[in-house]
């Protein structure tokens, strides 16, 4: 769910951006379409579309997060490999600075707004479940264990709950440089493979706690590991033929459609193994897109989806403000009639994109540039090649 600082970097990969855009779109649709909000299954669409299609639109937010995990692992590992050729020479100071400058500004702003809304007493933002408190939620969010906090108590309000995936992602990336620097390449790859293949096993072992089974660290980290391995594959296989890339794209697309549309049937036969089908399918699509659509603009008709992918982090952290407001307004004026609730979906998604774009323009990008370009006192002048992107002519 991250985007790079723009400016002197080459054109983005529109295929990967579209895949991220699809994932964030599924997250927003999921949070809109829950039964206690604005379910599509109670709208007039139920008379025209099959139930399976409406379910695919409404209930794949969790799966979409795992697609994000795969893409995140690929993009970050590919970035490091392009700079250092191997992960054992990773510059851990630069790595941590990049992660902090990307994640912290928006996270801190979000937590400040959520704390204010809790203090004012807005119902959708008030933390009031037994065993929970504002201090506990803030500490768990900043300490990157909000997923564990929810597993020990219960779900937090929706705008807080989205932070569970960030806890998994950032704990992985805190340990990532250490593991890369300590382990030789072969041992590192073996560990990543074992972690990736553990996804079905770790999910199956956590079935006793509904929240924790969804939000535990190891399954999410397994998906990120699959993304990292995909980056290694791209480095080792730099000249993939167009035919092979298109075959990977087709196979990955079939895997994603199968898990997103017929997931319940796959889960019945493969149990938690269906998540491995999903993540490996996402990895195949990412690898194919990496070769097919590098440094190219999105074709007409897909630019909006690629744009959503570029804003995925900002949309992910902020979209619940728009979703909750949309639900409250619709139910105030039209409840209990939900036959036409689908009419607000497109305006709601458009507002989510607008808010994400505003946050990127006025908060995340300026903070990212400032933090990455800040120089300590007495710093030695650098050559053009050594300077951060924002300082290059």
Q: What pLDDT, in 10s, does the model give residues 60-91?
A: 999 999 999 999 999 999 999 988 877 888 89
Lowest mean pLDDT among 92-96, 332-336, 372-376: 372-376
Can you tell me the distance from the alpha carbon of 163 to that of 76, in angstroms, rounded to the nearest whole number?
20
How far is the C-alpha of 226 from the C-alpha of 276, rounded, in Å?
Answer: 9
Mean pLDDT: which of 2-6, 77-81, 322-326 is highest? 322-326
Each residue of 354-370: pLDDT tens digit? 999 999 999 999 999 99
Residues in contact with 168: Cβ distance below 8 Å, sequence separation at least 6, in sequence order? 69, 147, 215, 217, 220, 221, 224
Choose between 372 and 133: higher pLDDT: 133
Enter the tokens of residue 105. 């500004």
State the Cα angle at 73 between 71 and 74, rounded to 5°: 65
Count of C-beta atoms within a 10 Å radius of residue 280: 19
Q: Which of 161, 141, 172, 145 is nearest to 70 (CA)?
A: 172
pLDDT at 344 over 70: yes
Over pLDDT 70: what percentage of the chain? 92
3-state helix, strand, coil in the chain (%, to 5): 75, 0, 25
Instruction: Please state, in angstroms and rounded to a whole number, the distance separating the CA atoms of residues 312 and 62.
Output: 15
pLDDT at residue number 210? 87
pLDDT recorded at residue 353: 98
Cα 137 from Cα 134, distance rounded (Å): 5
Query: What tokens were used for 160?
Result: 């807080």
**pTM of the predicted model as reported, rounded to 2 decimal places:** 0.92
Residue 7 lies in a domain: no
pLDDT bin (cut points 50, 70, 90) of residue 384 is very low
Give yes or no for residue 3 having a pLDDT over 50: no
The reply to whether 4 falls in a domain is no
Cβ neighbours for 237, distance < 8 A, ≥ 6 positions apart? none
pLDDT of residue 378 exceeding 70, the answer is no
User: Long-range contacts made by residues 123-129, C-beta under 8 angstroms, separation at least 24?
Assistant: 124/157, 124/158, 124/159, 124/324, 124/328, 125/157, 125/159, 126/157, 127/156, 127/157, 127/160, 129/153, 129/154, 129/155, 129/156
- Render pLDDT for 202-237 as a digit per residue (tens, 0 to 9): 988 888 788 999 999 999 999 999 999 999 999 999
Select the more confidently predicted residue: 392 or 297: 297
Position 73 scores a pLDDT of: 97
Which whole number is the average pLDDT over 315-342? 94
User: Is residue 250 domain-resident?
Assistant: yes
Average the pLDDT over each of 200-204, 296-300, 342-346, 350-354 and give the range with the smallest value: 296-300
Range of the domain at 305: 14-373+384-391
Cis before 336 (ω within 30)? yes
Asked whether 181 and 88 are in contact (CB, 8 A), the reply is yes
Integer Cα distance of 106 and 361 in angstroms: 12
DSSP letter for 21, please. H
Assess whether pLDDT exceeds 60 at residue 377: no
Angle between helices 303-310 and 312-334 (to 10 degrees): 110
How far is residue 195's CA from residue 139's CA, in Å, rounded to a whole number?
A: 28
Predicted local confidence at residue 298, as pLDDT: 87
Q: What is the pLDDT of residues 111-126, one digit of tens each?
A: 999 999 999 999 999 9
Mean pLDDT of 263-281: 93
Instruction: Indicate the length of the chain as a whole number.
Output: 393
Number of domains the chain contains: 1
Establish how many alpha carbons lie within 13 A of residue 174's alpha carbon, considering only the half-sphere containing its beta carbon: 11
pLDDT, position 379: 47
Q: Is the pLDDT of residue 11 over 80?
A: no
Angle at 337 between CA 333 and CA 341, to 5 degrees: 80
3 in any annotated domain = no
For residue 297, give every residue at least 6 positions away whose Cβ sits within 8 Å of its Cβ, in sequence order, or none.
11, 14, 303
pLDDT band at 247 (very low <50, low <70, confident <90, very high): very high
Residue 1: what pLDDT? 53
The dihedral of CA 314, 315, 317, 319: what is its sign?
positive
């Amino acid at each position: 769910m991250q985007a790079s600082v723009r400016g002197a970097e080459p054109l983005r990969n529109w295929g990967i951006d579209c895949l991220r855009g699809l994932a964030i779109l599924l997250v927003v649709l999921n949070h809109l379409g829950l039964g206690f909000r604005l379910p599509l299954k109670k709208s007039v669409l139920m008379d025209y579309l099959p139930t399976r299609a409406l379910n695919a639109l409404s209930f794949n937010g969790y799966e979409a997060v795992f697609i994000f995990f795969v893409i995140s692992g690929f993009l970050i590992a590919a970035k490091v490999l392009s700079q250092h050729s191997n992960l054992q020479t990773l510059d851990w100071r630069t790595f941590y600075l990049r992660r902090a400058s990307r994640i912290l500004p928006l996270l801190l702003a979000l937590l400040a707004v959520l704390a204010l809304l809790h203090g004012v007493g807005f119902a959708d933002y008030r933390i009031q479940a037994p065993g929970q408190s504002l201090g506990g939620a803030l500490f768990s969010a900043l300490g990157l264990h909000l997923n564990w906090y929810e597993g020990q108590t219960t779900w937090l309000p929706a705008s807080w709950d989205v932070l569970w995936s960030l806890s998994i992602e950032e704990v992985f990336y805190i340990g990532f440089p250490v593991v890369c620097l300590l382990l030789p390449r072969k041992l590192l790859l073996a560990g990543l493979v074992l972690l990736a293949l553990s996804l079905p096993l770790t999910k199956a072992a956590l079935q006793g706690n509904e929240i924790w089974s969804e939000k535990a660290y190891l399954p999410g980290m397994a998906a990120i590991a699959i993304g990292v391995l995909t980056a290694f594959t791209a480095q080792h296989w730099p000249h993939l033929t167009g035919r092979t890339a298109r075959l990977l794209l087709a196979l990955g697309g079939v895997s994603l459609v199968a898990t997103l549309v017929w997931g319940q049937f796959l889960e019945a036969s493969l149990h938690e193994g269906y998540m491995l089908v999903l993540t490996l399918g996402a990895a195949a699509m990412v690898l194919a897109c990496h070769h097919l659509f590098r440094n190219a603009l999105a074709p007409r008709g897909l630019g909006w989806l690629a744009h959503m992918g570029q804003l995925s982090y900002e949309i992910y952290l902020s979209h619940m403000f728009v979703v909750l407001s949309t639900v409250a307004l619709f139910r105030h004026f039209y409840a209990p009639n939900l036959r036409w609730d689908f009419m607000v979906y497109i305006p709601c998604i458009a507002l989510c994109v607008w808010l994400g774009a505003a946050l990127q323009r006025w908060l995340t990008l300026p903070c990212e540039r400032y933090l990455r370009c800040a120089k300590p006192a007495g710093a030695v002048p650098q050559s053009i090649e050594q300077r951060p992107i924002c300082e290059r002519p």
